[in-house]
Amino acid sequence: MPHLKVESLSAHYGRVQALDNVSLEAEKGSIVALIGANGAGKTTLMMSLSGVLTPSTGTIEFEGKRLERSSPEQIVSWGLSHCPEGRRVWPKMTVLENLEMGAISVTDKSKVAERLEWSFSTFPILAERRRQMAGSLSGGEQQMLAIARALMPSPRLLMLDEPSLGLAPIMVEKVVDIVREIRSTGTTVLLVEQNAFMALSLSDYTYVLETGKIRLFGPSAELMENDEVRQAYLGV
Amino acid sequence: MTTVFFQQVLNGVILGCIYALIALGLSLVFGILEMTNFAHGEFYMLGAFMALFSMTHLGVPFFVALLIAMLGMALVSALIERMVFRPIVGKPLINSMLLSFGLSTALANLALFFFKADPRKITSGLAGVRFRFWGLFLTGERLAILILSIILVLGLTWFIQRTRMGKAMRAVAQDRVAAQLAGVNVKRVYSVTFAISGALAAAAGTMVGAMFFVSPEMGFTVVLKSFVIVILAGAGRIRGVILAAVLIGLVESLGGGFISYAYKDAYPFLLLVLLFIFKPEGLMGGA
């Protein structure tokens, strides 16, 4: 049984259809990438999975639980965490407060302390800046904070929306390392990227989304050789 | 002359502390729900009546009545949020402006119908205690009000800065979607925000009812002055709101004492007009 199973999912903004009959699966411990142009519906799919948007039809199943009618706070507490596009850290809260709030779904205080320690050892720059306002960090540091925040509740599935957007190449590499490390702990990763090359080389399986529909899917290594993908997304 | 000046400063600070209680609630609702609540003045009025009736009908002492009013209005405000404001969360500001203006008129007129128009006074029993120092004059009642409002303002600041719920409130104010994704129960944050806002308004109403009068229309000018304070401070800034509130209290008290008491309600708005002309980015600087 797949870790996450989305079946025939459709979502609307008013009368505009943003997702049309999308189905996808993610095996436990795999990295699954979702690529596609701006407005293809990648973020909409993510927001539906985390419960911020309520899909119009279709089902979402995670570890045997149905998510499509659940609230975001329930979904986080069930082990699915979402690091949103554009980082969205709370700018006028300190790094430490951002991380603490990331763990608001965790009731066990010693567990929170343990996660904080883990974050600070994984992202030493955050430990250095723990008393600083998140808004004063650089773009790359904010991305680290956003990822660390999403990892605070020790999710079993992490959704990363455009983690490399606007980052310097050296920071993109850092993000790649982190994603590999997260997966090595057995966490499933659902990765949304416009940087198709990064997404395809990092992931095990890839879905290509176009105007709200799944256009193509398959093992990433195979899609990398696919002419359509090469032309449209890799520019070769 | 200097004694009169300092006496007016003292009165202005007391008034400012009460304004701070009212404006803080307004500012919290504006920052967290992105709504303007013109019915906030009626929360203040209803709180004052709750305290008044607790004293006249239940015979409880002033401070117990104040507590009853705060708890009662916390509950009423949370209910109003759930029933009236929740359906328009995320809609453009004009929705909450119109809706709350209607609610304000409805509540004020219901109060007029049931409680009648004649102004009544809350008797704290402390007005007779008098202190004199450095030629200044202070009743026990005003001293208690000053201390109490400072405690409430500090308590709120502590709550927002230090507690889990307070941090959740700040997170929602700064980025609601990010807060949802982290697992913040945003609906509960909305309820708590309105409850706090109502409780603080009730405390202010009770204190004003003791210093001056309780009447169904007492909320009208107060809510407008509170908006002046929130605008002066810039939304979502607790320290800014407290400073602006004390400033408005001083302007009103000094203007009343040295120019004319008849125009005391006009001075805060005059200050706002001057601010818009000379410092349109707001008192505390930019965004």
**Does the CB of B238 have a partner CB in chain A at under 8 Å?**
no
Q: Do A50 and B181 touch (CB under 8 A)?
A: yes
| Per-chain mean pLDDT for chain B | 91
- Grouping H, G, I as helix, E, B as strand and the rest as coil, residue A164 is coil
CA distance B236 to B230: 8
Task: Give the CA angle between residues B192, B193, B197 to the nearest 5°.
Answer: 115
A-B contacts (CB, under 8 Å) = 62
CB contact under 8 A, A73 and B179: no
Which residues of chain A make contact with B170, given a CB cutoff of 8 A? Answer: 90, 92-93
- From chain B, the residues in CB contact with A82 under 8 A are 181
Q: Is B185 on the interface with A (CB under 8 A)?
A: yes
Question: Per residue in B136-185, pLDDT tens?
Answer: 888 899 999 999 999 999 999 999 999 999 999 999 999 999 999 999 99
Q: What is the mean pLDDT of residues B257-271?
A: 86
Whether the CB of B175 is below 8 Å from some CB of chain A: the reply is: yes
A150: chain B residues, CB-CB within 8 Å: 181
pLDDT tens sequence across A221-230: 999 999 888 8
According to DSSP, residue A106 is labeled: -
Q: Which CA distances in Å does A82 have to A2, A87, A192, B141? A: 19, 11, 11, 53
Q: Identify the closest residue of chain B to A48 by CA–CA distance.
A: B181
* Residues across chain B: 287
pLDDT band at B236 (very low <50, low <70, confident <90, very high): low
Q: Any residues with CB less than 8 A from the CB of A216 and at least 6 apart, and which?
A: A207, A208, A223, A226, A228, A229
Interchain pair A101, B182: CB under 8 A: yes
Kindly indicate the confidence band of residue B287, based on its pLDDT and cuts at 50, 70 and 90. Answer: very low
Give the gap in angstroms from C-alpha A52 to the nearest C-alpha of chain B. Answer: 7
Question: Does B170 sit within 8 Å of A73, measured CB to CB?
Answer: no
Report the pLDDT value the prediction gives residue B127, as an integer from 0 to 100: 79
CA angle at B253 for the pair B119 and B69, rounded to the nearest 5°? 40
Percent of chain A as helix, strand, coil, to the nearest 5: 40, 25, 35
Q: Give Dmax over CA atoms of chain B in angstroms.
A: 60
pLDDT 10s digits, B120-138: 999 888 878 888 888 788 8
Question: What ipTM does the predicted assembly reach?
Answer: 0.93
Give the three-class secondary structure for B129: coil
Give the per-residue pLDDT at A199.
Answer: 94
Q: Is beta strand A4-13 parallel, antiparallel or unpaired with respect to A16-26?
A: antiparallel
Chain B: residue whose CA lies nearest to A154: B182
CA dihedral (A90, A92, A95, A100) positive or negative: negative
Q: Which of A80-84, B112-116, B272-276 has the lowest mean pLDDT?
A: B272-276
The percent of residues above 70 in pLDDT, for chain A, comes to 100
User: pLDDT tens digits, residue range B55-102?
Assistant: 999 999 999 999 999 999 999 999 999 999 999 998 999 999 999 999
pLDDT one-digit tens code per residue, A78-119:
999 999 999 999 999 999 999 999 999 999 999 999 999 999
Are B189 and B172 within 8 A, CB to CB? Answer: yes
Q: What is the model's pTM?
A: 0.91
Q: Inter-chain contact A104–B168, Cβ cutoff 8 Å?
A: yes
Q: What is the pLDDT of residue B4?
A: 84
Q: From CA A3, how far away is CA A25, in angstroms rounded?
A: 8
Q: How many CA atoms lie within 13 A of B51 on its CB side?
A: 35
At B285 the pLDDT is: 58
Best mutation target, A88, A98, A133, A159, to test chain B (most B CBs within 10 A): A88
Phi, psi of A30 (to 5 degrees): -100, 165
Phi, psi (degrees; rounded to nearest 5) at A216: -150, 155
The fold of A4-234 is Rossmann fold (3.40.50)
Q: Compare all CA atoms of chain A with the CA of B186 and give the residue at the minimum distance.
A: A73
- CB atoms < 10 A from the CB of A48, how many? 25
- Decide if A105 and B170 are in contact by the 8 Å CB cutoff: no
Chain A interface, Cβ < 8 Å to B: 50-52, 71-73, 76-77, 81-84, 88-93, 97, 100-102, 104-105, 149-150, 153
Q: What is the pLDDT of residues B22-65, one digit of tens each?
A: 999 999 999 999 999 999 999 999 999 999 999 999 999 999 99
Specify the amino acid at residue A55.
P
Mutate which: A100, A101, A115, A157, vs B, most B CBs within 10 A = A101
Measure CA B92 to chain center: 24
- Single-letter code of the amino acid located at A11: A
Give me the DSSP letters along A9-78: EEEEETTEEEEEEEEEEE-TT-EEEEE--TTSSHHHHHHHHTTSS--SEEEEEETTEE-TT--HHHHHHT
Residue B237: closest C-alpha in chain A: A92
Contact B185 A73 (CB under 8 A): yes
Long-range residue pairs from A165-168, CB within 8 A, at least 24 positions apart, any chain = A165/A85, A165/A86, A165/A194, A166/A139, A167/A139, A167/A140, A167/A143, A168/A140
Count how many residues are written for chain A.
Answer: 236
